Structure 1
Amino acid sequence: MEQVACQTISFSRGVCGRAARTAETQIVDDVHSDVSHVACDSSTKSEIVVPILFNGEVVGVIDIDCEEEKGFTEEDREALERIAVLLAAGCNWASLG
């Protein structure tokens, strides 16, 4: 069953927050071994979070969970980082401020 995000997560919490703070993609092969992981779905075993940057600032993240450990590869990282660049270029982020 597909789940949507369970909550808004501040930059100080979770893997999403870590990606936002560092402006770097985070791949967590085993979310149960990452103390900062915020569980939204108990079936999640791995996670990838890619920051979306606009004018050098993080304006959002792409957060994908997987029901398998080590569910994400470097190819996944590269593809999602390209998508993040497209989102940054294609959205009107300036209107959010």
Structure 2
Amino acid sequence: MTNTKIQHYQELADQVQALIAGESNMIANMANISAVLYWGLKNVNWAGFYVLQEQQLVLGPFQGKPACIRIPLGKGVCGTAAADSQVQMIDDVHQFAGHIACDAQSNAEIVLPVYQSGKVIAVLDIDSTVIARFDEDDKQGLQKIVDIFQQSLQLGVKN
């Protein structure tokens, strides 16, 4: 990872941390994280969340063009990430079996599961028009941001 990329993701993580510090409202935090990532990353045409509800993903806060509202669990890149509890980093979404094309201009995608109390409750989805836009460096940088978000979710958990 280049110093510049490490520094950039650290700056984004610091910005997210400052924005959501002490705030437990999931929707508000998703909205701010989506904005930070959409405006802070190059060659990104969509950034946002899908929330798991009744065995399907439902569109949450995002930045970008209008998107698919519901995605069945296990379908498309987002549904696969949620069902398998695994980060999905797809160089060319048109080669992904079962890809759901919400925006025909999207070519690459990275999706990270979000956990609360050990269960997937949402996914962070980022799309790009550039094939192979995302790499391991992006995965690590975005995971740091998801980790910060997951910590904020613990504020709302009552023991």
Q: Which position in structure 1 is the counterpart of 2:81? A: 19
Question: Within 5 Å, which residues of 2 pair with 1:8-87?
Answer: 8-87=70-149
Larger radius of gyration: 2
1:94–1:8 distance in 2 versus 1, CA, 3 Å:
farther
Deviation at 1:10, TM superposition (A): 2.0
* Greater alpha carbon shift after TM alignment, 63-72 vs 79-88: 79-88
What CA distance in whole angstroms lies between the structure 2 residues aligned with 1:22 and 1:34?
Answer: 15
TM-score where L is the length of structure 1: 0.87
Q: Alignment RMSD, CA only? A: 1.8
AA matched with 1:76 = D
Contact 1:59/1:93 (<8 A) preserved:
no
User: 5+ residue gaps in structure 1?
Assistant: none
Q: Distance in 1 between matches of 2:133 and 2:149?
A: 23
Report percent identity of matched pairs: 35
Unaligned ranges ≥5, structure 2 = 1-44, 46-63
CA distance in 2, matches of 1:38, 1:93: 33
**Structure 2: how far apart are the matches of 1:63 and 1:85?**
15
Q: TM-score, normalised by structure 2?
A: 0.55
* Residue-pair matches, total: 95
Q: Return the alpha-carbon distance in structure 1 between the equivalents of residues 83 and 156 of structure 2.
A: 18
CA contact (8 A) 1:13 1:36 kept: yes
Higher helix share goes to which structure?
Answer: 2
In the aligned structure 2, how far is the partner of 1:33 from the partner of 1:70? 12
